[in-house]
Amino acid sequence: MCVSRCLQCVAVSLVPLAIVCMLSNILLLLPELKIHFLLEGHVTREATWATGLWGSGFLVLLGVRAFMRSSNIRGCCAFRSQMLSQVFLSAVCLLAAGFCCLVSATGLSQGPLCLYNTTSGYTWGVPLQPQPDSYPGYLYNRTLWSGVCLEPRGVVQWNVVLFGVMVGASGLQTVLCGANVFNSLLGLILGPGFCHNKVGPVSV
């Protein structure tokens, strides 16, 4: 049946995206692959929210498990009951992935937390975030990528790549989960056999 096949396709597609988001968020928490930056609180705020772990990762994987189980449901009443739960689960996954995408995009645009030089000495902060009536942001000026942040080394490129990957992966998850909401609503309204309905010749 069409709805079940779509559930399976969405579930299979969401798994690698969830794994990518989880790995990216873990790496964001470990600049230079060292844990002491995290323990000392010197990690970008949006990375510490760990939306790639619990949002686009754990919650989406829970949804995937439910999607795969629901694809084997038989019987009209049981099918519609499962479709109703799929609408709710898909909406939760949609919100989780969308929130991860939003947080990741914010982290990408604001720039990393790092040690940089000021007029009063070295300090930890977010020196590359866009300022009103100033430069539009470090993403448009790559000369700032290596000249501002002193520690962790290469943190600007690290954040750009990993937050960019999370934006792309969680954004794609959002699209897939949105399509799954529509698919589940279709199954709820039309039932399990609508793809098998055919127009036959009229008997005289």
Instruction: Indicate the domain borders of the chain.
Output: 2-196
Query: Tens place of pLDDT for every residue, the chain, 204 residues?
Result: 466 677 778 888 999 999 999 999 999 999 999 999 999 999 999 999 999 999 999 999 998 888 877 655 555 666 677 778 888 999 999 999 999 999 999 999 999 999 999 888 899 999 988 877 666 678 888 888 888 899 999 999 999 999 999 999 999 999 999 988 888 888 777 766 555 444 444 444
- pLDDT value at position 126? 92
Q: How far apart are CA 151 and CA 40, in angstroms?
A: 13
- Furthest CA-CA distance within the chain: 95
DSSP 56: I
Q: Which two tokens stand for residue 16?
A: 């690698």
Distance CA 120, CA 68 (A): 58
Kindly state the tokens that stand for 106.
């914010």
Which residue's structure tokens are 């002491």? 36
pLDDT at 134: 62
Q: Give the separation between CA 105 and CA 124, rounded to whole angstroms.
A: 22
Question: What pLDDT sits at residue 204?
Answer: 42
Contact between residue 150 and residue 117 where contact means Cβ atoms under 8 Å apart: yes
On the CB side of 83, CA atoms within 13 Å amount to 22
This prediction has a pTM of 0.85
